[in-house]
């Protein structure tokens, strides 16, 4: 079996249940059918069960043994130990471990092999590597598991029929063929085919994304011609969905991983549920597929530096052996052994072991800052990834909108009203006449319409206490479409107990055939419907209320209520005016219900007469109705969302809405939240997801990519559609962020580069599949997160450049010492101390650098852009060379002062107590280097702005420098630690040494600031060159496309844009058509995307091809020159462009 279909066995007309069970288990001639397409009786027979009596306990145990428990499988998760091991297989880490082993082995054969301190370098490297691995492994281990969250969605137990009795069983023990008894409030435990349904309604919001409860029936209803495809069959209910109304019974057709939620779980975990995945090093799981852009870039950077380090070590080793450089403490040992130690020193100096730790710390601090912006980060690298997002795919319900149906308009007696407030809080907002600011909640038409509607509702509203936060909030219980009526009624003063004052004598529930609900209420003894309400004729005992589809109810109305309480005939002209109001509201994607009443002195039938059917009662009551009013509701957009979408667009981020709603509703909401502009071509920018799978299967990758490149609204989406859309965008090179709150969003959340779940209304499934959670469920928080992500990434670039310049300087200094024959300036342990102790605090402070005010006006960086850009390499080399020159100068002067005028190693070795004298010279160079790095921490805050620009703007930098200074004085002044371990003597160098060390920071300050002039010039040169190259590329592509398609590029600016572009946003995609075929041009980069046949473009645009010229042009927008892969190392920058596109 796959999915919903189940085995249909040959019907055996036998009375022996055991024989029937055996036959069903061993049937060979089985047919595969959809359970929604057969009757309950046929399904009852094929599943070898009984709707009345259920399965026998023996048969249930047998099926449970065959199928396994009704629960979701979980892929094996890497253990904490496995995650720790995975941290140790990186290229840079392996090189460091090799250097540590080499240091220990070489010292083990040296003259000080019995001295524990001789092994400090190797041990220190091991400790640093292990600390970094522990931090990363623990962070990843704490991340939640989406599949574990899925298992929490089902309730612990449910009633089933077994052996003719209703019994309560644990949900995992439910099997195929069980008869499940459902009631209001139950959670469906498995996929069921309804066999009985009494006004059953189910909330499928978590599964399909639709906020409205879905009415269910046990009947088979053929699809009517022109009727849109339903997301779920009307006679099926699915695992994990809540029953909001009615009661019924259903036959279990699928359990566990075969349910719809199970199939979603498979999408999350992968088709093979974690088995057969690629391995690293032959045995470890491969996590590379989920790597973020920052992780990939750092891995590439580390690999390049590692290869460079190996080359440098080999070169230095060869030079040292050739020049016969020997260990000054053991001149008898061979030079190659000493050069191995020097190579280890070089490896430590060249490999940026501090970068991974700095990145982890920087991202961790960023995560804490995100909490203040209502963003909870589950994976550290997600902070950076969101900053690079170029497309945000957002669910509509609960994300862009409130997820709460809210009344926004009311109409009665020719008067329109606006209803204020959002959500379910009745204390917020008033009802006002259209165009007026006065409270009109006491108008007769308002009170009459709302109370009548309330008398035809079963939904209640009350305050409930959130078990987690302890806060009280308003929540409706019942049908979601009735909640807006209950909330609006409370706004005008009707109490919670108003329904108890009116005794209901008859209720005819809503049905898809009647399109309305009808109630009869006892109003005997009342002169008015309510205080301030419409008058009731003398002798009125009963009030009939109908609530439902306006066009149906209007046909039954003979009069309508007027504002003064009188009535007027419902003529055809009056009916047309009412329907015009309905059309006006419907065009705004509002859900409109009509409220009509009828007064009766006596009921037209006997309530106790069981021979009168429901339909007969309905027909008798619905005649001669009075239209009281119309109520219009919508799932409103969240406060601030339209502005946030505009901000995202300004940041170069394309916002795409993917929803299960109908296309018209989706388009209206998209316009409300600025995803679609007024002049957008809706036929291109918004599509029904059925277009993704015209023949049942999905379009080819090429056609799918062309379609998704220009569409910003996808309606009637299934979970699989969302997944395919995200995959398509990723194939086009987009860094995608997917937001959502339902089960239906989980696969796409998991597939996206970064998944963003809603914290309040989000299901545990969505949270488990996400990378970050919005604790306030506000789409607006994403923009803040994007800004923070970009700021953190910019800070990472700064401290990577800072650390790399230190490593470059260390390599230069050691290389200079070996080649010239002067003593090596510092030991490997001193280098580690410099990089990981004195340089680490300023590096972290650079990662916390405040962002530029214009950071949200930049376009997202390309996915494959390296962390270190081309001009940054030049800056790093220059700064490294400056640092090396200054410190070498200080070191040479120190050697001459403390070593009796000697500079070269061979001469110094002949001095008495040369070890102490050499230690003093190294100490001065060490102090000068630390001070120089502290000064460079300030100059590195900007690549091209002077050091005095907002010099105290980063408070964390001041704290970092103080900490670095404390570490310095501990290193050079604390006995034992300084002289025995680090081999530094701060006291012995005297005043001369400390004064000489000051030359380093002063020299670095002047020369590094001078280098900024060169860097700024280089950046400008790159920008000018890129602008010219890009303009030339645009002209070349435009000319090539024009020649191929017959289009002309006039260079004129037009008003109408094709594809997804709007006047405010440089989004993707457009179509040009000519005699040579149809071509799609990416409007962000200007690149030719592909050629498609005419029929597909016709479908894409929703209109036939025309032989007449239909000129459309587009202009405006921003090109991010860094997006060009051939200039990936160059800086991000913007130019404005514009050219016309003619369509033939």
Q: Which DSSP category does 70 fall into? A: S
Q: How many CB atoms lie within 10 A of CB 325?
A: 23
CA distance 545 to 631: 14
Q: How many CB atoms lie within 10 A of CB 89?
A: 11
How many angstroms from the chain centroid is the CA of residue 975?
Answer: 53
Known catalytic residue: 418? Answer: no
Question: Shortest CA distance to 162 belongs to which of 9, 35, 40, 17?
Answer: 17
Task: HSE, CB side, 13 Å, CA atoms: give it for residue 880.
Answer: 23
CA dihedral (680, 681, 682, 686) positive or negative: negative
Place of tokens 């088709």: 271
CA distance 475 to 424: 6
CA distance 482 to 488: 10
Phi and psi dihedrals of 469, rounded to 5? -90, -20
CB 185 within 8 A of CB 199: no
**Structure tokens given for 697:** 């299967």
The beta-carbon contacts of 928-931 under 8 Å, at least 24 apart in sequence, are 928/886, 928/887, 928/890, 928/996, 928/997, 928/998, 928/999, 928/1000, 928/1001, 929/834, 929/883, 929/887, 929/1000, 930/834, 930/838, 930/964, 930/968, 931/968, 931/997, 931/998, 931/1000, 931/1001
Alpha carbon dihedral 143, 147, 149, 153, in 10-degree steps, equals 170
CA distance 1105 to 1103: 7
CB 185 within 8 A of CB 243: yes
Angle between helices 354-372 and 120-141 (to 10 degrees): 30
Place of tokens 């006004």: 199
Q: Which of 395, 637, 705, 777 is catalytic?
A: 395
CA dihedral (637, 639, 641, 643) positive or negative: positive
Q: DSSP states of 480-493 as a string?
A: TTTHHHHHHHHHTT
Phi and psi dihedrals of 144, rounded to 5? -75, 165
Place of tokens 């709603």: 661
Strand partners, 547: 517, 595
Q: DSSP states of 310-372 as a string?
A: HHHHHHHHHHHHHTT---TT-TTS-HHHHHHHHHHHHHHHHS-THHHHHHHHHHHHHHHHHHH
CA dihedral (556, 562, 563, 565) positive or negative: negative
**Angstrom distances, CA of residue 908 to CA of 830, 895, 942, 983:** 21, 9, 42, 17
CB 293 within 8 A of CB 797: no
Question: Shortest CA distance to 660 belongs to which of 337, 1022, 397, 417?
Answer: 397
Phi and psi dihedrals of 494, rounded to 5? -70, 135
Instruction: Return the CA Rg of the chain.
Output: 37
Active site residues: 395
């Amino acid at each position: 079996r796959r999915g919903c279909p189940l085995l249909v066995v040959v019907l055996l007309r036998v009375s022996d249940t055991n024989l029937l069970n055996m036959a069903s288990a061993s049937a060979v001639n089985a047919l595969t059918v959809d359970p929604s397409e057969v009757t309950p009786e046929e399904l009852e027979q094929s599943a070898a069960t009984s709707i009345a009596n259920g399965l026998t306990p023996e048969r249930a145990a047998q099926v449970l043994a065959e199928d396994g428990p009704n629960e979701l499988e979980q892929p094996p998760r890497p253990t904490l130990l496995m995650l720790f091991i995975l941290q140790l297989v990186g290229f840079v880490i392996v090189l460091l471990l090799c250097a540590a082993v080499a240091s220990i082995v070489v010292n083990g054969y040296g003259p000080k092999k019995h001295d524990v301190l001789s092994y400090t370098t190797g041990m220190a490297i091991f400790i640093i590597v292990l600390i970094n691995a522990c931090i990363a492994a623990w962070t990843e281990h704490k991340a939640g598991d989406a599949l574990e969250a899925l298992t929490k969605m089902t309730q612990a137990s449910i009633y089933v029929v077994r052996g003719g009795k209703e019994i309560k069983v644990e949900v995992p023990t439910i099997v195929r063929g069980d008869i499940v008894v459902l009631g209001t409030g139950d959670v469906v435990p498995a996929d069921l085919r309804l066999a009985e349904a009494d006004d059953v309604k189910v909330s499928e919001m978590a599964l399909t994304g639709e906020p409205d409860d879905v009415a269910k029936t046990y009947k088979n209803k053929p699809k009517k011609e022109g009727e849109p495809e339903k997301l779920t069959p009307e006679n099926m209910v699915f695992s994990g969905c809540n029953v909001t109304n009615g009661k019924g019974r259903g036959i279990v057709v699928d359990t566990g991983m075969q349910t719809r939620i199970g199939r979603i779980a498979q999408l999350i975990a992968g088709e093979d549920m974690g088995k057969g995945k690629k391995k690293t090093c032959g045995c470890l799981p491969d996590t590379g597929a989920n790597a973020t852009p920052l992780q990939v870039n750092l891995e590439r950077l580390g690999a390049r530096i590692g290869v460079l380090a190996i080359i440098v070590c080999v070169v230095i080793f060869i030079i040292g052996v050739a020049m016969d450089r020997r260990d000054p403490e053991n001149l008898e040992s061979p030079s190659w052994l000493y050069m191995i130690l020097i190579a280890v020193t070089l490896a430590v100096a060249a490999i940026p072991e501090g970068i991974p730790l700095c990145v982890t710390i920087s991202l961790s601090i960023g995560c804490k800052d995100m909490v203040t912006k209502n963003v909870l980060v589950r994976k550290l690298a997600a902070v950076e990834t969101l900053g690079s997002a170029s497309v945000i795919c957002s669910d509509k319900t609960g994300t862009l909108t409130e997820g709460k149906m809210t009344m926004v308009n009311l109409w009665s007696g020719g008067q329109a009203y606006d209803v204020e407030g959002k959500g379910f809080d009745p204390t917020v907002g008033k009802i006002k006449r259209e165009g007026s600011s006065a409270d009109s909640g006491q108008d007769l038409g308002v009170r009459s319409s709302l109370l009548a509607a309330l008398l035809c509702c079963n939904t209640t509203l009350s305050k409930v206490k959130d078990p987690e936060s302890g806060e009280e909030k308003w929540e409706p219980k019942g049908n979601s479409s009735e909640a807006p009526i209950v909330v609006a009624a409370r706004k005008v003063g009707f109490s919670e107990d108003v329904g108890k004052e009116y005794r209901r004598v008859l209720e005819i529930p809503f049905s898809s055939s009647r399109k309305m609900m009808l109630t009869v209420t006892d109003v005997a003894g009342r002169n008015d419907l309510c205080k301030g309400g419409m008058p009731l004729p003398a002798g009125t005992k009963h009030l009939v209320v109908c609530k439902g589809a306006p066009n149906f109810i209007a046909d039954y109305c003979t009069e309508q209520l007027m504002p003064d309480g009188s009535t007027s005939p419902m003529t055809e002209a009056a009916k047309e005016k009412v329907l015009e109001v309905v059309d006006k509201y419907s065009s705004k994607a509002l859900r409109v219900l009509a409220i009509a009443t009828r007064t009766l002195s006596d009921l037209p039938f006997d309530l106790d007469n069981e021979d009168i059917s429901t339909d007969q009662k309905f027909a008798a009551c619905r005649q001669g109705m009075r239209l009281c009013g119309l109520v219009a509701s919508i799932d409103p957009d969240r406060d601030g969302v339209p502005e946030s979408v505009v901000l995202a667009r300004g940041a170069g981020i394309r916002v795409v809405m993917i929803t299960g709603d109908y296309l018209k509703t989706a388009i209206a909401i998209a316009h409300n939240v600025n995803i679609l502009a007024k002049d957008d071509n809706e036929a291109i920018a918004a599509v029904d997801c059925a277009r993704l799978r015209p023949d049942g299967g999905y379009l080819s990758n090429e056609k799918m990519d062309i379609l998704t490149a220009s569409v910003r609204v996808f309606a009637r989406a299934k979970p699989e559609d969302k997944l395919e859309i995200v995959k398509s965008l990723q194939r086009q090179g987009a860094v995608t962020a997917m937001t959502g709150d339902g089960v239906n969003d989980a696969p796409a959340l998991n597939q996206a580069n970064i998944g963003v779940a809603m914290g309040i209304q989000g299901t545990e499934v969505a949270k488990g599949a996400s990378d970050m959670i919005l604790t306030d469920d506000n789409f607006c928080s994403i923009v803040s997160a994007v800004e923070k992500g970009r700021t953190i990434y910019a800070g990472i670039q700064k401290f990577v450049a800072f650390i790399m310049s230190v490593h470059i300087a260390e390599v230069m200094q050691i290389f200079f010492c070996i080649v010239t024959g002067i003593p090596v300036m510092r030991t490997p342990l001193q280098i580690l101390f410099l990089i990981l102790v004195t340089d680490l605090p300023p590096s972290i402070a650079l990662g916390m650098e405040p962002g530029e005010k214009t950071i949200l006006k930049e376009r997202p960086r390309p996915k494959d852009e390296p962390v270190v850009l081309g001009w940054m390499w030049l800056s790093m080399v220059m700064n490294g060379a400056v640092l090396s020159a200054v410190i070498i100068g200080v070191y040479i002067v120190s050697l001459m002062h403390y070593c009796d005028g000697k500079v070269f190693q061979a001469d110094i070795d002949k001095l008495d107590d040369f070890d102490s004298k050499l230690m003093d010279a190294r100490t001065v160079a060490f102090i000068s280097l630390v001070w120089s790095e502290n000064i460079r921490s300030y100059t590195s805050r900007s690549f091209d702005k002077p050091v005095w620009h907002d010099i105290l703007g980063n408070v964390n930098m001041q704290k970092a420098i103080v900490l670095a200074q404390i570490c310095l004085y501990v290193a050079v002044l604390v006995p034992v630690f300084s002289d025995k371990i680090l081999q530094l003597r701060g006291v012995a160098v005297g005043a001369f040494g400390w004064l000489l060390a000051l030359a380093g920071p002063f020299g670095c300050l002047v020369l590094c600031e001078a280098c900024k002039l060169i860097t700024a010039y280089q950046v400008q040169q790159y920008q000018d060159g890129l602008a010219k190259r890009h303009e030339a590329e645009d002209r070349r592509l435009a000319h090539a496309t024009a020649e191929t398609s017959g289009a002309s590029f006039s260079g004129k600016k037009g008003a109408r844009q094709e594809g997804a572009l709007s006047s405010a946003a440089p989004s993707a995609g457009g179509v040009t058509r000519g005699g040579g075929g149809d071509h799609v041009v990416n409007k962000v980069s200007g690149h030719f995307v592909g050629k498609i046949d005419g029929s597909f473009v016709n479908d894409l645009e929703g209109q036939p091809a025309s032989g007449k010229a239909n000129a459309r042009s587009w202009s405006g927008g921003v090109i991010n020159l860094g997006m060009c892969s051939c200039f990936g190392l160059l800086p991000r920058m913007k130019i404005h462009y514009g050219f016309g596109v003619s369509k033939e």
